[in-house]
Amino acid sequence: MNRNALVVRHVPFEDLGILAPLLQDRGYAVQYLEAGVDAIDPDALAAADLAVILGGPIGVYETGRYPFLQDELRAIGQRLRQDRPTLGICLGAQLMAAALGAEVAPTGRAEIGYAPLTLTADGLDTPLREIQSVPVLHWHGDQFAIPSGARRLAETPGFPNQAFALGPHILGLQFHLEADAGRIEQWLIGHACELSMRGVDPAAIRADAATHGAALAHCAGLAFGLWLDGF
């Protein structure tokens, strides 16, 4: 079965990661759109069988500094209004929440590194139940409110809104299930300034990636697979 996935990428190393082979196995042809470089056409994004909006180190609310965000928000909003299968990760989930009318704002704190989630009762009723036993990769300082009509799926002590679902086709994740732990060094290099500014030791993240990466990749693959197969 030939299907297409449009993937909006904001920085090169935050790509599909472990999602890439899962999509390939399901017959998706993947096309990346580089945010701020490639035009994000609302009709093209709406027509794709699947849209994935990836992460990046900017804020949804920084449209004055990064004007392309306005076009991206409009395109995402059009797709979501049509209830088309859409996955958002970190900044991608924040863009989805904003496009659905929810507030996205900085918190003044950050959550960076591997740590467990607590799934809500609604979360346990979704494919995310596959990840309840493993630490996931967090890398965020902003937070989204849960959009109207959506279900809140997961939380951590510092960030109560970690995931939302709007029906079976729309999923927003604040955390990084897609990240390939074998390539964590790209993240440590790409986000070196933020790690230094926040006093986060890259050696700790590197060690946790080695400890938890294989189990997380397995569980995340199960969760993503169930979600993709539910369309």
Which residues are identified as catalytic? 90, 176, 178
User: DSSP class of residue 131?
Assistant: G
10 Å CB burial of residue 52 (0-12, 13-18, 19+) is buried
Return the bridge partners of 230, or none.
none
Contact 15/55 with Cβ under 8 angstroms? Answer: no
Number of neighbours of residue 25 by Cβ within 10 angstroms: 10
DSSP 206: H
DSSP annotation of 148: T
